[in-house]
Amino acid sequence: MNKVVANLAEAIRDIEDGARIMVGGFAASGGANNLVQALIEKGTKDLTIICTGSPEWMPFVENDRAKKVISGFTSHSLRPEITEVIETKVRAGLLEVETVPHGILSERIRASKAGIPAFYTPIGVGTVFGEGKETKLFDGEECVLERAIEADFALIRGHFGDRLGNLTCRFVARNRNTEMAGAATVTIAEVEEVVEVGDIDPERVDIQGIYVQRVVKAPKIVKWLDGHEAV
Partner 1 sequence: MALRVAKELKDGMYVNLGFGLPTLTSLFIPEDIDIILHAENGMLRYAGVIDDETQADADLINASGQPTSLLPGAAVFDLNESFTMIRGGHLDLAVLGAYQVSETGDLANWQLQGYHVGGIGGAIELAQGAKRVVVAMEHTDKNGKPRIVKQCSLPLTARRCVNTIITNLAYIELEGAGLVLKEVAPGITPEEVQANTEPDLIISEDLSEMEF
Looking at residue 26, the DSSP 8-state letter turns out to be B
Backbone CA torsion sign across 134, 69, 94, 14: negative
CB of 123 to partner 1, least distance (A): 6
* Binding piece for partner 1, criterion CB under 8 A, among 4-12, 13-21, 36-44, 95-103: 95-103
CB atoms within 10 A of CB 122: 13
* Segment 188 to 227, residues that bind its own copies, using CB under 8 A: 202-204
C-alpha pair distances (Å), 117 with each of 41, 110, 153 = 35, 10, 18
Q: Which helix (H) or strand (E) holds 192?
A: strand 184-194
Binding pattern for the stretch 59-98 against its own copies, x by CB under 8 A and - elsewhere: ----------------------------------------
Pairing of strands 135-138, 47-51: unpaired
Closest approach, Cβ 43 to partner 1, in A, equals: 25
C-beta of 75 vs 217, nearer to partner 1:
75
- Asked if 39 touches partner 1 (CB under 8 A), the answer is no
Stretch near partner 1 under the rule CB under 8 A, chosen from 11-19, 38-46, 69-77, 132-140: 69-77
Size of the site for partner 1 (CB under 8 A): 73
Round to whole Å and give the CA distance between 136 and 122. Answer: 10
Rule CB under 8 A: say whether 147 interacts with its own copies: yes
Closest approach, Cβ 117 to partner 1, in A, equals: 11
The 104-133 site mask, x for binding its own copies (CB under 8 A), equals: ---x---x--xxxxxxxxx-----------
* SS3 (DSSP) at 109: helix
Q: Phi and psi of 81, rounded to 5°?
A: -65, -30
β-pair partners for 147: 118
**Residues in the site for its own copies, rule: CB under 8 A?**
107, 111, 114-122, 136, 138-139, 141, 143, 147, 171, 202-204
